[in-house]
């Protein structure tokens, strides 16, 4: 490429002057024009990231040596800008020179490399990275403590250990990234309102949205499947729908129906709340005299105007009113399914999320114990359901994790069913599945039981199901391809001659919903990673009965998966009646 470079016209940037300046700065280094161009691009990256020796030298001067600590703020700012402007000049001059002197092929290469580098360096999601907490430290210093993150550190703040937003990680180091990134950290931490989990989620969402190339993401939910909205805002829609709009910079807005303003203000950690007709209840009230906002108003509140690409998460929770509202406001925008962003965000659980799941399973096992103590022939399925629900609320659950499974006889061959006023009979199989919902997280415990002694056919299938349940934990190991585990499971069932009793398996995702992405199927291509959680859901059925063994599952860093609950009542359960 260097052989094709031609001198610039007199009206452009002087190539010789530019090369002369660089050579004076680095007299011992022989640089061709492309080498100079590379240096200029790297200097430009420094403006945003601060990732050069110069940035660390500045930190040494400004923080460790505190040379300019006593300077007046105006003088300090002038000095800082004077040290930054040359880098900006190098960036624009180098960019202008490269664009003017390159042919079409070279131009495409330059732009392609710049775009790829920018995406990789600028929007790489900080999963499994402690750096994220350094960003939150810097943002909280600005948003709450009103301090400069380049000259102040978390440990400078009196009582910093009492503020949960500060982390020990990098608490003794100032920010090493550029001023644009510092502003983003400040905005996201301000939106987090002092909630560390909420702030972490906003950082992750902003990175993923930007990486996907969306101008904005809308995540919709309803009362039954509340997960997306509650994940970001803690808001749980009631009667009406709910949505959260998030910009690539991490700014967020909560969208609700027209009846929920006070309720949302008391519950949501996102206080940028917009009442919209698209989120009204299905009774479809007209709301005469009430003012509703639009997607245009909501997006403007998070700095998004005239978006070209709108990511839509909660795709199956999005109704026609929402879709038509988006289309009316932004007729030229491309609306794209963004469920994969939410799957990425929610698949790997934090220690706090795992703690919620464990507590929900503990409550579920208490409910199982109460059901086993009470069940008997003549009792209705819903009567047993009531005992389970009472146990959940009495022991700290905010609700059932899902509709309680309490049904018997041939209904146990149903993978999905509900209890009714039907009465249990002696000798029949009973399927129970129950869990407590804790801060939105919804795990479940499932056991097959028999009212009396199992016959040989029932016992054989129940014992085989339990064997497959334990096999699931052996095979669910970090690094394994999910589809390979599912295929191994199916092959084992086939070799055992039990394929005619098989419907699905062996796992599905677990989190805010008892069944959520990612599914574990023979076509699944993702790798299992530590801190992913699943329900090990082992279901087999015959023509007149079925069974389900179910417990929470945690993928560990090495070795077989861990059962999230205690694993009580895993023996063959036959009720003496």
Domain boundary among 122, 149, 177: 122
Confidence tier at 449 by pLDDT (50, 70, 90): very high
Q: pLDDT at residue 36 above 80? A: no
Domain span at residue 181 reads 131-194
297 and 436 inside one domain? no
Q: What is the model's pLDDT at position 576?
A: 93
Q: What is the model's pLDDT at position 317?
A: 95
- Cβ neighbours for 464, distance < 8 A, ≥ 6 positions apart: 496, 498, 501, 540
Orientation angle between helical segments 456-475 and 482-495, nearest 10 degrees: 150
114 and 185 inside one domain? no
Q: How many CB atoms neighbour CB 83 within 10 A?
A: 12
232 and 333 inside one domain? yes
Q: What is the model's pLDDT at position 136?
A: 87
- Among left, alpha and beta (phi > 0; psi -120 to 50; other), residue 533 is beta
pLDDT digits (tens, 9 = 90+) for 290-313: 999 999 999 999 999 999 999 999
In a domain, 320, yes or no: yes
Q: What is the model's pLDDT at position 292?
A: 95
Domain boundary among 347, 371, 393: 347
- Among left, alpha and beta (phi > 0; psi -120 to 50; other), residue 559 is left
For residues 536 and 465, give the distance between their C-alpha atoms in angstroms, rounded to a whole number: 11
272 and 286 inside one domain? yes
16 and 155 inside one domain? no
Q: What is the model's pLDDT at position 515?
A: 92
341 and 293 inside one domain? yes
222 and 341 inside one domain? yes
| Distant-in-sequence contacts of 70-77, Cβ < 8 A, 24+ apart | none
Range 219-227 average pLDDT: 95
Confidence tier at 16 by pLDDT (50, 70, 90): very low
Q: What is the model's pLDDT at position 24?
A: 39
Confidence tier at 158 by pLDDT (50, 70, 90): confident
Range 481-492 average pLDDT: 95
452 and 407 inside one domain? yes
Confidence tier at 209 by pLDDT (50, 70, 90): confident
313 and 435 inside one domain? no
Q: pLDDT at residue 55 above 50? A: no
DSSP of 66-115: -TTTTS-HHHHHHHHHHHHHHHHHHHHHHHHHHHHH--HHHHHHHHHHHH
**What sign for the dihedral angle of Cα 141, 144, 147, 148?**
positive
**Which CATH number characterizes residue 443's domain?**
3.90.230.10
Three-class SS state of 482: helix
Q: Are the CB atoms for 429 and 545 separated by under 8 Å? A: yes
Q: Is pLDDT larger for residue 41 or for residue 295?
A: 295
In a domain, 199, yes or no: no
Domain count, the chain: 4
Q: What is the model's pLDDT at position 276?
A: 97
Confidence tier at 193 by pLDDT (50, 70, 90): confident
Q: What is the model's pLDDT at position 123?
A: 39
Q: Is pLDDT larger for residue 47 or for residue 72?
A: 72
Range with the lowest mean pLDDT among 105-119, 268-282, 459-473, 528-542? 105-119
Q: Are the CB atoms for 276 and 261 separated by under 8 Å? A: no
Range 544-573 average pLDDT: 96
Q: Are the CB atoms for 290 and 260 separated by under 8 Å? A: no
Q: pLDDT at residue 22 above 70? A: no
pTM over the 0.85 mark: no
Q: pLDDT at residue 219 above 50? A: yes
Range 439-467 average pLDDT: 97
Q: pLDDT at residue 547 above 90? A: yes
pLDDT digits (tens, 9 = 90+) for 336-361: 999 988 888 889 999 999 999 999 99
Confidence tier at 128 by pLDDT (50, 70, 90): very low
Three-class SS state of 125: coil
Range 426-439 average pLDDT: 97
Going by the DSSP 8-state scheme, the letter that residue 266 receives in this structure is H
For residues 388 and 369, give the distance between their C-alpha atoms in angstroms, rounded to a whole number: 9
Q: Is pLDDT larger for residue 318 or for residue 14?
A: 318
For residues 254 and 405, give the distance between their C-alpha atoms in angstroms, rounded to a whole number: 34
Confidence tier at 126 by pLDDT (50, 70, 90): very low
Query: Which of 378, 371, 375, 372 has the alpha carbon at shortest distance from 422?
Result: 378
In a domain, 521, yes or no: yes
Q: pLDDT at residue 381 above 60? A: yes
Query: Which of 386, 455, 447, 461 has the alpha carbon at shortest distance from 426?
Result: 455
385 and 476 inside one domain? yes
356 and 447 inside one domain? yes
């Amino acid at each position: 490429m260097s052989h094709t470079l031609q001198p610039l016209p007199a009206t452009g940037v002087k190539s010789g002057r530019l090369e002369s300046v660089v050579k004076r700065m680095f007299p011992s280094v022989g640089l061709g024009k492309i080498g100079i161009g590379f240096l200029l691009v790297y200097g430009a990256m420094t403006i945003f990231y601060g990732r050069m020796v110069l940035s660390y030298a500045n930190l040494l001067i400004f923080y460790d040596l505190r040379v300019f600590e006593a300077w007046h703020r105006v003088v300090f700012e002038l000095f800082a800008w004077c040290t930054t402007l040359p880098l900006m000049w190098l960036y624009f001059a180098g960019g202008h020179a490269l664009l003017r002197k390159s042919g079409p092929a070279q131009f495409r290469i330059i732009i392609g490399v710049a775009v790829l580098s920018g995406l990789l360096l600028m929007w790489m999601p900080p999963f499994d990275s402690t750096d994220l907490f350094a960003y939150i430290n810097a943002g909280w210093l600005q948003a709450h403590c009103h301090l400069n993150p380049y000259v102040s550190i978390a440990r400078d703040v009196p009582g910093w250990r009492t503020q949960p937003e500060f982390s020990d990680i990098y608490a003794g180091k100032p920010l090493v990234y550029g001023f644009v990134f510092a502003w983003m950290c400040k905005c996201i931490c301000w939106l987090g309102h002092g909630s560390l989990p909420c702030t972490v989620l906003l950082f992750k969402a902003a990175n993923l949205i930007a990486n996907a190339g969306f101008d904005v993401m809308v995540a919709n939910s309803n009362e039954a499947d509340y997960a997306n909205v509650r994940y970001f805002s803690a808001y749980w829609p009631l009667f009406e729908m709910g949505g959260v709009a998030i910009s690539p910079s991490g700014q967020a807005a909560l969208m609700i129906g027209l009846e929920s303003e006070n309720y949302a203000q008391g519950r949501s950690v996102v206080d940028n709340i917009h009442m919209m007709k698209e989120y009204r209840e299905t009774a479809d009230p007209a709301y005469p005299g009430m003012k509703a906002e639009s997607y245009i108003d909501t997006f403007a509140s998070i700095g998004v105007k005239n978006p070209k690409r709108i990511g839509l998460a909660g795709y199956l929770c999005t109704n026609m009113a929402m879709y038509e509202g988006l289309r009316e406001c932004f007729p030229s925008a491309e609306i794209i399914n963004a469920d994969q962003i939410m799957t990425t965000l929610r698949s790997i659980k934090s220690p706090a999320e795992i703690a919620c799941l464990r507590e929900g399973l503990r409550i579920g096992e208490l409910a199982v114990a109460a059901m086993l103590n009470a069940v008997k022939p003549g009792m209705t399925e819903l009567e047993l359901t009531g005992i389970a629900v009472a146990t959940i609320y009495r022991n700290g659950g905010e609700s059932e994790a899902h509709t309680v499974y309490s049904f018997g006889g041939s209904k146990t061959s149903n993978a999905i069913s509900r209890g009714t006023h039907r009465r249990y009979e002696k000798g029949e199989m009973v399927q129970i599945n129950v869990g407590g919902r804790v801060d939105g997280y919804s795990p479940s415990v499932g056991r097959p039981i028999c009212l009396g002694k199992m016959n040989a056919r029932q016992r054989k299938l129940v014992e085989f199901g339990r064997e497959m349940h334990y096999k699931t934990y052996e095979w669910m190991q970090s690094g394994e391809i999910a589809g390979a585990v599912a295929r191994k499971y199916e092959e084992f069932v086939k070799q055992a001659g039990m394929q005619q009793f098989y419907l699905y398996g062996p796992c599905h995702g677990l989190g805010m919903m008892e069944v959520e992405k990612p599914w574990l199927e023979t076509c699944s291509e993702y790798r299992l990673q530590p801190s992913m959680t699943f329900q090990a859901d082992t279901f087999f059925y015959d023509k007149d009965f079925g069974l389900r063994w179910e417990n929470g599952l945690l993928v560990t860093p090495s070795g077989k998966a861990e059962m999230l609950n205690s694993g009580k009542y895993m023996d063959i359960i036959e009720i003496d009646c």
